Structure 1
Amino acid sequence: MGWFWADSVSISVDKGASGAKCPVDHKALQKPQPQQSSACPIDHSSFKSSAGSSGECPVLGGDEVLNPLNNMPMSISSELAPGQKIKLSTERTISTIPRGEADDQGLWEYPSPQQMLNAMLRKGKGAGIDEEAVTSMVEVHNFLNEGAWQQILEWEQKYTVDTRIEPRLSKFTGRPHDLSPRARMYLWLGQVFPSTFNSQPPFDRHDWTVLRSLGKNQGWKPVRYVIDYYSAPDDEETGMPAFVLDTRPALDNPQNAYDRFSHWSYPLYKKAMGEFDN
C-alpha cells in the first residue's frame, strides 16, 4: 500500500488500537468482497479483478527502481492511460504530516487519483478496475494514513511536551506479507479464544520511521513504528466499512519497550486508583 508520493530522495536521515470509520460513501461502489489475508483496503470496494488473490498492493512490486523513502515508483505519469474512459483528477492532496528533518521539506503528499490508476496499470493490477472508484480508493488511503499519524502523535506527546518540537516522518515501508509478532499473537489467541479475540489477520502492515526531536538544534532520534491495519465490523448506523489501526513503537530498544508498557499500563493504574478521564 503506497499512500505518500515523494518526487525526490533529498532526505538524508540515514497508541494502542483505535477504530476509524471510512469517510467514503461506499453505496456508490459494488458490494464488498470478503477480506483476504494481507489484502490492500482497495479490495473492499469494487476492484475484484484488479487485486487478484496474492494480496499484494497493485502500486508496489516489480523490478523497477523504487523511491527508498516510500517504496513507490520514482515517477508516475499524470496523463490519461490508454483506453481510459473517465478523466480523473490530477490534483494531489497535501497531508498534515511533516516530511524530513527541516521545515523547508514541507509535508508529505498523497498521489492523485490519476497517478494511482496509472500506478496500478503499470504494475499489471488495473485490468477491469472500475475507474469511477479510484477517487474513493485514494480517499480511503488518505483517511487511514491521517489516522495513523494522529495515533503516532499521541505516542510522541510526552516527548513533544518536553522539546516543544513536533515529530516528523522520515520514511515508511509497506510490508503487507509480513505479520508482526503482535499480529501473530492475536491470531493464535483468536484460534484458542475465538469468542474473545479476532481470528482475522491484518489486511496490511506499515513500518514508519518517525523523527523524534532531541531538543532545539540537538538533532533527531529515528523511532520505528509498526502499524497493523484491521477490518472492523461495518458501522451499524451507516453500513459503511470501519477499520482498526494498531499503532505502536517497535520493540527495537529498551526505551520503546518502556514506552509501550507505560502507555498501556498507566490507564489501568488510573482506573485502579479510582481516577477516570472526563
Structure 2
Amino acid sequence: MKEKPLEAGAGLVWERPEPPGRTAPGPLSRDGIVRAAMAIADAEGLVSVSLRKVAAALDAGPMRLYGYVATKEELLDLMVDAVYGEMVSAGPIRGEWREALRSTAHRIRGAAGAHKWFIELVAVGRPNMGPHTLAFLEASLAALSDAPGFKDIDTILHAVRTVSVYAIGAIQSEARDLRVERESGMDEAQWQESFWPYLQRVIATGRFPMIARVVRDAIHPKPEAMFDQGLDCVLDGIAARLSR
C-alpha cells in the first residue's frame, strides 16, 4: 500500500511524529533521510537534492519519504537544522564577550566550509526555527548574559545578530568567488592576469586614484585572514557602542 503525501500544513516538521517503524523493504527515519540528503548536497551540490534521489540513495520508494517530510522545503529546513546541530555539538560557547562572539562567527564559517550549500540556505528566506538552530541561538545569547555591558537582552541580541549577519555575508562573498572560479575555469591569479591590461588602462585615466591605491598598496590577505579582519572591525564597533 502506497503512503499518501502529507499536506504541507500538517503540523511543523520539528514536532510531527514519524510513521511507525517498518523493517521491510528497509528501515527509515527522518534523521536518516536528512543525512542522505546532506551527503548528496555535499557531493553534488544543492541542486541535486530531490526526494526521489534521496529515496534512491536509501533504496526506498519516494512515496515512503512523504511519511517523514511533506515537501522538499521541509527537507531543506531539516538539513539546515542538522548543520546547526553539528555546531551545537562543538560544546558551550565560552570566554569573554569578544571571544564568545568570535567563536559564534567561526562556528558558522566552519559549518559553511564543511557544507558548501549551507550558507545558500541560511542567507535567504525566513529564519530557521528548528530545535538545533534555536539551541545554537540560545548558546550564543547565553554566552553574553553575564558579560559586562550586556545588561539588557536587546544589547545581547543586537550583538549576536550583527556578528551572525557579518559572518553570513562574508562567507557568501567567499562562496561567490569560488563559484566564479569554478565556472570560469580560472583561478584567482589567472583571472587577475586576464583583467590586468584593462585595469592598467583604467588606472591610467587618473579617474580612479583610490582603486589605484588598492591595486598598488593593499595587502589582499587570504580569505580566512580577511574574515578575521572584518570580524575585528565588527567587534570594535560593538565595543565602541558599549562604551557610550
TM-score by length of 2: 0.31
Where is the strand percentage greater, Structure 1 or Structure 2? 1
- Higher radius of gyration, 1 or 2: 2
More helix by share: 2
Question: Which of the pair has the greater relative contact order for Cα pairs under 8 Å at 6+ separation?
Answer: 1
